[in-house]
Structure 1
Amino acid sequence: MNHDTPLSPLPLHHLADGRCPVLTTAALRAHGVPPAEIAERCRPGGPWQQLLPGVHLLHPGPPTSEERLHAALLYARYRGPAVPSQPRSAESAREPMITGLAALALHGLTAAPPLLSLARIDVLVSRTRRLRSVGFASIVRGADLPVAVEVTGVPTAPVPRALADTAASLMDAAAVRRLLTEAVRGGYCEAAAVVRELSRARLLTRPHVVDAVDALVAEGRALDEQRLYDMVNGFGLPDPLWNVDLRLPGGPHLGEMDAYWPEYGVAVEIDTRTPRPSGEAPRDAYREQLERLGITLVRCRPRTLREAPEQQATVVRTALMAGADREPPAYVLILPR
């Protein structure tokens, strides 16, 4: 038998029986299907159909949501080479991924429309790709592609990036607010991560985005404070003073603390990595100033409070035990925040 003989194009049932019967023209030719046969089978009323340029569905009738996702990815992956004059970077080497509303639907956000109802599927590619939007495949170019997350086998942008790409094209303020709020409230991501992505995309000057971010930050803050409260009570830590402002008598502002144990000289701050108010000391100097006064600052990341509260409680308990063995901290003013 001659192993160079192309596969017969005639029944082709083995191609259509796959989990997702969407193939490119190149893949079909590799299976021995000549271009004329592909064109014949994709005629109106034929057994196949062309979903996008160079991408074919091997059955008649409407494509499923999974088939549309794979078709958009195949189109983005194999059409349009990179600009040759551009150096190849880690970002440009990454494969295309689903982003925007389609990505949010894949991640499970209920505020995102169902996949089948979406008129377009956004695909994130490197900005060096020579590729245009066509049909339901909408190309989104980025200079700094994130690492994709596999969702049901589909390479998908992380939630913060998908939210930013959605907000860039969605003008419905209420819809943007619902998506951002659900993402934080549902634990899909931290508010600070979303704000960073929106800032990177230069979207924080758009009024409808700013309004949504204000609600998002308030939502995230309330959830983080509740998780800190649950951690302290759930793991048997002593009751602290909640939400206080520390100042030196007649001196500078020392910081806003989410919890403070004056008898132990231990303060806890939920660290969202947002810029500090103008005129306030940088973070390192801020911590050092507290330590000189005998106050230990423990920073809690929202993700740790959400995913590993016992670990965070151990860190706080260790600081309290060490504080009990030290000299009492310097006197500071404790004001309600």
Structure 2
Amino acid sequence: MTQNTPLSPRPLHDVRQRVQSAAQLRAQGVSAAQTAAQCLPGGPWQQLLPGVYLLHPGPPTSQERVHGALLYAGRPPVSARRTVPAQSGPGYGEAMVTGLAALALHGFASAPPMIALHRIDVLVPRTRRLRSTRFVDVKRAASLPAPDRRLGVPVAPVERALADAVAGLTDAPTVRRMLTEAVREGHCEPATVVRELSAAKLLGRPHVVEAVDALLMEGRAVAEDRLYEMVRSYGLPEPVWNVDLYLRGGTFLGGVDAYWPDQAVALELGTRSPRQEHITYTAEREHLEGLGVTVVRVTAKKLRERMAQQAVVVRTALMAADDREPAAYVVVLPR
């Protein structure tokens, strides 16, 4: 065998054949010495990352870098390599792409294209002893989320990828664009993003707080549009929109997103920030229901995923009005 003879056991038709780990090569009969010989200067192969090889001499493509990063992060620990058989699958283990690279794979217009990224973030279990190296940044988590699949590779869910991306960003407009795009394009709900940012201890950064405010406003606007669509598409009676409710003597009862005065049915969109959500909503609901007003709570996620079901819930509440005791007289004023 000459030094320039490629040792590819199969034609290099796809990225998984063009980038392989040392373990995958050994499983195909390529020894460590043969691999090293192929990676000598001027040879047909090159070492992309520790234990990961690019089976051609040119620069790696974006797909090859992603695949190589996952092979590097997904390899078993040194202590287990002698007992773990060679994997027949892609060899990613529990590793997944996160951060800006994951957002690019999710199709975010506000994220840099994959080809422009100098670093690829990969998420691994916290117990892994693995160093960041070359173009790979290793992120650790005590509990890994269930990955999505994009272009055949495991990718962190949008909310986790956002948190990992935001952790490394200081540009406020960029953070704001990413968070609002996540909601506007229906990738996830505002509350899940805020929870991830809180868990990552990012809510103390002023530019992140400003972006979260924009995120919540965007989430509310999207949810309101879906609410209008639900009422009109499913033939519900037109309510009065975005009103405050008072008792006759002027006691404030709370603000609601839609109200049907004849049936005394109020609808509340679950779009407040998590800090306000539970305490404020529970107090308002208990007060209104004590006065005979039925309160229906609809979340943005339910409107997006189960709009027809939510329309049935509202219609049922309206139809049940005739069977209830009359509600206390409520004054309705625009917000």
Q: Normalised by the shorter chain, which TM-score bucket?
A: 0.7 to 0.9
Answer whether contact 1:263 1:328 (CA < 8 A) is retained.
no
Paired position in structure 1 for 2:23:
26
> Structure 1's 247 and 52: CA in aligned 2 closer, same or farther, altered over 3 A?
same
AA aligned to 1:272 is T
Answer whether contact 2:8 2:55 (CA < 8 A) is retained.
no
1:13 deviates by 4.2
1:328 paired to 2:329:
no
Q: Identity rate of aligned residues, in percent?
A: 60
> Structure 1's 153 and 249: CA in aligned 2 closer, same or farther, altered over 3 A?
same
1:46 paired to 2:43:
yes
AA aligned to 1:331 is Y
Paired position in structure 1 for 2:303:
305
1:269 paired to 2:268:
yes
Residues in 1 aligned to 2:192 and 2:274: alpha-carbon distance in whole angstroms: 13
Give the 4+ runs in structure 1 shifted more than 4 A. Answer: 79-83, 249-253, 280-286
1:62 paired to 2:59:
yes
Paired position in structure 2 for 1:314:
312
Residues in 1 aligned to 2:150 and 2:78: alpha-carbon distance in whole angstroms: 26
AA aligned to 2:237 is P
- Aligned residue-pair number: 318
- What CA deviation, in whole Å up to 9, does each residue of 1:107-148 have, x standing for no partner? 111111111111010001122111110011110112232111
Structure 2 unaligned regions, length at least 5? 81-92
- What CA deviation, in whole Å up to 9, does each residue of 1:271-318 have, x standing for no partner? 13634649x956455434332322111111101212332221111111
1:195 deviates by 1.1
1:49 deviates by 1.2
1:215 deviates by 1.1
Secondary structure of the structure 1 residue equivalent to 2:329 = coil
Map 1:1-337 → 2, pairs under 5 A: 11-14=7-10, 16-21=12-17, 22-78=19-75, 80=77, 95-250=94-249, 253-272=252-271, 274-275=273-274, 277=276, 283-284=281-282, 286-337=284-335
Residues in 2 aligned to 1:289 and 1:149: alpha-carbon distance in whole angstroms: 42
Answer whether contact 1:185 1:219 (CA < 8 A) is retained.
yes
> Structure 1's 277 and 122: CA in aligned 2 closer, same or farther, altered over 3 A?
closer
AA aligned to 1:16 is L
AA aligned to 2:220 is R
AA aligned to 2:35 is I
Secondary structure of the structure 2 residue equivalent to 1:335 = strand
Residues in 2 aligned to 1:251 and 1:126: alpha-carbon distance in whole angstroms: 56
Normalised TM-score (structure 2) = 0.87
- What CA deviation, in whole Å up to 9, does each residue of 1:241-268 have, x standing for no partner? 1112223445864332100112101111
Normalised TM-score (structure 1) = 0.87
AA aligned to 1:111 is S
